[in-house]
Amino acid sequence: MTGILETKIKSIANLSPEALDLLMASTRPKPLEKGRILLREGEVCKTVYYVEKGYLRTYFTKEGNEINTRFAFENDFVTELKSLRSAAPSAYWIQAGEKTVVWEFTKEKLLELYRQSAEIESFGRNLLEQMLVDQEEHGNLFRIYSPAERYQHIVRHSPHLLQRISLSQLSSYLGMARETLSRLRKKP
Amino acid sequence: MTGILETKIKSIANLSPEALDLLMASTRPKPLEKGRILLREGEVCKTVYYVEKGYLRTYFTKEGNEINTRFAFENDFVTELKSLRSAAPSAYWIQAGEKTVVWEFTKEKLLELYRQSAEIESFGRNLLEQMLVDQEEHGNLFRIYSPAERYQHIVRHSPHLLQRISLSQLSSYLGMARETLSRLRKKP
DNA sequence: TTCATTTTGTGATTTTTGTCACAGGTTGAG
DNA sequence: CTCAACCTGTGACAAAAATCACAAAATGAA
């Protein structure tokens, strides 16, 4: 039986069975209790995570408040790329928002695999391309839509966020005050 | 003498002289008059551009208005990645905002180079990583800052935008009304 | 189950931004 | 140089969202 991670990898790049095995051999599942911190502000990020179950949230703090920048759910990859790339202290935290299972890919191991296998580097490039496309489209939500319209967009396109993310956490992700989101939620 | 494009490429990835030559041999400079359209909505994007001089702007239209999503200046790379990747019709336009010189890298040729040279694929991955980091930070501006604060941020961190981009084009990029930006500009 | 903690809802009010309308400036093509 | 087309500034006003304060509800740990 093929796991969902393998299916995901294959959907991103056509790897030979050998390359797929190589990549899969570099990782294993890791269960996390709710609230577990995977990266703290100031630490250097050394890992890319794949979420099998549950979700991870990425956030930073500004004047004592947490600003959520990403929620990575089942079948998503996530990391703190700036810190990972440059080995610089991270400005962000990564935390499990529920009881979660992730697969870890360490930077060290990934770079080794990239050198070993052009196919795996190609996989890495393709994954980045997908993430960049998503990120660009997400950024445009803020250019086009008002807070009220952004909420409507989430209702239509990402309703799972409303079910799994608390209102106060979602509000910072959507760039609006908690009270605003609370009021939007009960309108027609 | 080494051109700025070569210097840029080397800053992104450590290529061997052979790989650098291979990559440089695939492109050449192309002058564009101001206003020249490089990609239209509905067309399939086939090219990555490097801007040597001038700038390119990327935008889409919403209810008859142009919404600017990016300005690529000297020494920047830019493309319409979603369309390029999937060969799908682009939702965006790309246009020269000034008299401009770009170097074109066609998708076809790039894919060939990726197959030929692991170093060049590594360059591609590194370039994408940089773009993704930038894009993520840019998106956060909208989460943290109000329109007035976003303007201040641009004043401090990207003043060249204020010099080279017209007020009305900048306003959509910053996600605010033209009048709002006009008023912000004359405050203390 | 209970109680403290955290999260959410809501009103009152202020502030910010958007919208509309139009005048004055600027620019570039001819 | 001239004039149309475009861009910018500005006032008046409307709408949206932020802020503040607090009550109500939900949650989770003991």
Burial A88-115 (b: 16+ CB within 10 A, else e): eebebbbbbbeebebbbbebebbeebbe
Q: Please say whether the beta carbons of A153 and A184 come within 8 A.
A: no
Nucleotides of chain C in contact with protein CB (under 7 A) are 7-12, 16-21
Nearest-nucleotide field for A185 (CA, C1'): C9
**The pLDDT of residue A1:** 62
Beta strands B93-96 and B56-62 are antiparallel
Mean residue pLDDT across chain A: 95
List all residues of chain A from 126 to 155 with a beta carbon under 8 Å from chain B: 128-133, 135-140, 142-144
Which residue out of A65, A112, A119, A125 would a mutagenesis test of the B interface target, given it has the greatest number of B Cβ atoms within 10 Å?
A125
A147 CB contact with strand D at below 7 Å: yes
pLDDT in tens, B128-148: 999 999 999 999 999 999 999
pLDDT in tens, A8-49: 999 999 999 999 999 999 999 999 999 999 999 999 999 999
Q: Given CB atoms, is B91 within the 8 Å cutoff of chain A?
A: no
pLDDT in tens, A77-132: 999 999 999 999 999 999 999 999 999 999 999 999 999 999 999 999 999 999 99
Task: Please tell me the distance in Å from B10's CA to the nearest CA on chain A.
Answer: 16
- The partner residue sitting opposite B129, judged by closest CB among A81, A174, A175, is A81
**The pLDDT of residue A111:** 96
Mean residue pLDDT across chain B: 95
- The gap between A165 CA and D26 C1' (Å) is 15
Task: Please tell me the distance in Å from B175's CA to the nearest CA on chain A.
Answer: 4
Q: Is the dihedral of CA A70, A74, A75, A77 positive or negative?
A: positive
**The pLDDT of residue B188:** 59
Side-chain-side CA neighbours of residue A72 (13 Å): 24
Whole-number Å distance between alpha carbons of B72 and B56: 5
**The pLDDT of residue A64:** 85
**The pLDDT of residue B92:** 96
Is the pLDDT confidence value at A2 over 90?
A: no
Contact B85 A129 (CB under 8 A): yes
User: B107-116 and B17-25 helices cross at what angle (nearest 10)?
Assistant: 160
Which phi and psi angles does A96 have, rounded to 5°?
-75, 125
Q: Please say whether the beta carbons of A30 and A69 come within 8 A.
A: no
**The pLDDT of residue A141:** 96
Kindly list the residues from chain A whose CB atom is less than 8 angstroms away from the CB atom of residue B122.
114, 121
Residues 6+ apart with CB under 8 A from A154: A161, A162, A170, A174
B179 CB contact with strand D at below 7 Å: yes
Which phi and psi angles does A106 have, rounded to 5°?
-80, 150
If one counts every other C-beta atom within 10 angstroms of the C-beta of residue A144, the result is 17
**The pLDDT of residue A187:** 78
Q: Please say whether the beta carbons of B77 and B50 come within 8 A.
A: yes
pLDDT in tens, A115-129: 999 999 999 999 999
Kindly list the residues from chain A whose CB atom is less than 8 angstroms away from the CB atom of residue B124.
125
Q: Which of B94, B45, B105 is nearest to B66 (CA)?
A: B94
Q: How confident is the model at residue B2 (pLDDT cuts 50, 70, 90)?
A: confident
Q: How confident is the model at residue B177 (pLDDT cuts 50, 70, 90)?
A: very high
Cα torsion at A124, A125, A127, A130 (round to 10°)? Answer: 170
Is the pLDDT confidence value at B173 over 70?
A: yes
**The pLDDT of residue A188:** 58
**The pLDDT of residue A179:** 97
Domains and their CATH numbers in chain B: 4-116 (2.60.120.10)
Q: How confident is the model at residue B26 (pLDDT cuts 50, 70, 90)?
A: very high
Residues 6+ apart with CB under 8 A from A125: B114, B121, B124, B125, B128
**The pLDDT of residue B64:** 85
- The partner residue sitting opposite B69, judged by closest CB among A85, A124, A143, is A143
Q: Given CB atoms, is B25 within the 8 Å cutoff of chain A?
A: no
- The gap between B172 CA and D2 C1' (Å) is 33
Q: Please say whether the beta carbons of A54 and A48 come within 8 A.
A: no
Task: Please tell me the distance in Å from B178's CA to the nearest CA on chain A.
Answer: 13
Task: Please tell me the distance in Å from A30's CA to the nearest CA on chain B.
Answer: 26
Q: Given CB atoms, is B79 within the 8 Å cutoff of chain A?
A: no
Side-chain-side CA neighbours of residue A48 (13 Å): 19
C-alpha distance from residue A110 to each of A22, A29, A125 (Å): 10, 16, 12
